[in-house]
Structure 1
């Protein structure tokens, strides 16, 4: 902007509005410790002193009559161990109210996705899209997505395997048999947040998320939730359920797309491309992926891994409009305690 405006001031002298919430999630730093993550924050930017901070005070997502819930979210987001009675003294754990506890994954699934919805997913598409099970890690997300998919009754599952192609100087046909077998296996195992799995399981009626910008101008963006309506060998037909096109009941055809992995410090190992449908199952998603979304029901599953980074619990709990719309499976059976990670350096 300095070059465009021929002005050496910051941003070429333009006023730039930057929005965010310090209580929510931090930048992702691969294998970074808390200090590295905090150092990646905009607060560590050399020019941050030039920013004027304007605080927004009203929560526009939560219903206005949910006064106690609004205050509870503030306490959780700020890590307010003194002012919030649900904090367990001397720890960073919070006691969750009994009404918000689910005993196990099945209870959580039945809360978020009522059996009638799964029996008639096309009829209850909006309800299915308005719910999500949130987890700290993608490994658990994948497992729970398959559990819900299995409960879409009377529908045949179709499995699509990606075509993975190594990139770089040495093609597969130049490798030895052992090297080739290792390379193929390594490519198939790699899954990232921005890449579809090598083995993609789908059913008609399943809720999926678009993970690639197909057409930003027409609302087909990364993060758009859709429902599978028909499955072909070379494409899938989907009904758009979120975003700017959701009111029109639009249906689109999605072909396989190419994704690239490797070649950067954050993506170590083999450099390859993957050709696969640009979707992932979206009954469950990572807490990071849920940021920015408004949902009708949220299940938070912590039995196979607690929140481990700043703002995860706050982000997960603040996706809904009412407190009764949340159920949590805690890390330890028969306890109501959940870990709340807050790095005060980001809030000061």
Structure 2
């Protein structure tokens, strides 16, 4: 995608968005333009979902957008509860392990793990959080559409990549969080999250025809804004939410030293 943007001097100056980019007033407005008629049964076909997504800088914003989208989406909720437990590491004292209750572990929701309560609907888009079978297209970041639920597997269909449209079965697996969580724990759950929306970092390498970008909280790392804007094939099909105080502009984070 090629379009011109106006930026201030380095670093962290406002970026004037192209006139072709359309602004939305709130999350519901953004969902309605990126996913039109999402509440209508039969709208969310594989081709419909693979052509559109919503991006946000923070995981908390992505979770909120996904929760709102799932409420709008037709169908019945299916909840899968994880099995959490602490892991004893060398050097840990017994009282340190016992101090973490089951409720405490269940309340944790690091981005590298699926949620304790995984809530889905048939037809909703999901994203893999781990490499399960790369040769079969089941890699970290792969988007899929849910087709059927069972107690031990989720039947889905791949939306993106060379294996698009292939039916697959996703099992529960045992996962441990990355370094972002100091508590020694493991979670047995389906390694997926909802994917009506995703973080900007997760979207790298993907291209869609319609993209919404939640910039109510501006980007906070070098190159994030460029990645978000370049996910779409046309500036006219980019939709953004900006802070109420911003007028057609957002902060651009640039570290000049990495460009030297």
TM-score, length-normalised on structure 1?
0.68
Q: Does 1:111 align with 2:29?
A: no
* Conserved? CA contact 1:118–1:151, under 8 Å: no
Q: Does 1:343 align with 2:255?
A: yes
Find 2:168's aligned residue among 252, 269, 275: 252
After superposition, the Cα gap between the structure-2 partners of 1:180 and 1:159, relative to the gap in structure 1 and judged at 3 Å, is farther
Inter-partner Cα distance in structure 1 for 2:254 and 2:246: 25
Find 1:137's aligned residue among 50, 58, 61: 58
Which residue does 1:291 correspond to in 2? 204
Inter-partner Cα distance in structure 2 for 1:212 and 1:308: 25
Which residue does 1:166 correspond to in 2? 86
Quick check: which one's helix share is greater?
Answer: 1
Q: Does 1:309 align with 2:229?
A: no
Inter-partner Cα distance in structure 1 for 2:12 and 2:153: 51
Q: Does 1:120 align with 2:42?
A: yes
Question: What is the total number of aligned residue pairs between the two structures?
Answer: 256
After superposition, the Cα gap between the structure-2 partners of 1:165 and 1:318, relative to the gap in structure 1 and judged at 3 Å, is same
Inter-partner Cα distance in structure 2 for 1:208 and 1:268: 23
Give 1:261 deviation, angstroms: 2.4
Give 1:228 deviation, angstroms: 0.3
TM-score, length-normalised on structure 2?
0.89
**Structure 1, residues 116-159: CA drift from partner, whole Å, max 9, x if none?**
5753145x221212211111100110010011111112x00111
After superposition, the Cα gap between the structure-2 partners of 1:221 and 1:326, relative to the gap in structure 1 and judged at 3 Å, is same
Inter-partner Cα distance in structure 2 for 1:202 and 1:267: 26
SS of 2:103's partner is: helix
- Correspondence 1:203-242 to 2 at 5 A: 203-242=121-160
Which residue does 1:323 correspond to in 2? 235
- Correspondence 1:144-155 to 2 at 5 A: 144-153=65-74, 155=75
**Structure 1, residues 134-191: CA drift from partner, whole Å, max 9, x if none?**
11100110010011111112x0011111101111159xxx769xx8574323322333
After superposition, the Cα gap between the structure-2 partners of 1:341 and 1:334, relative to the gap in structure 1 and judged at 3 Å, is closer
SS of 2:227's partner is: helix
Q: Does 1:300 align with 2:213?
A: yes
SS of 1:306's partner is: coil
* Conserved? CA contact 1:103–1:333, under 8 Å: no
Inter-partner Cα distance in structure 1 for 2:180 and 2:41: 40
Quick check: which one's strand share is greater?
Answer: 2
SS of 1:220's partner is: coil
Q: Does 1:185 align with 2:103?
A: yes
Structure 1: segments with no counterpart, 5+ residues:
1-61
RCO greater where, 1 or 2, for CA within 8 Å and sep 6 or more? Answer: 2
* Conserved? CA contact 2:211–2:232, under 8 Å: yes
Give 1:281 deviation, angstroms: 0.4
Which residue does 1:28 correspond to in 2? none
Give 1:267 deviation, angstroms: 3.2
* Conserved? CA contact 1:98–1:336, under 8 Å: no
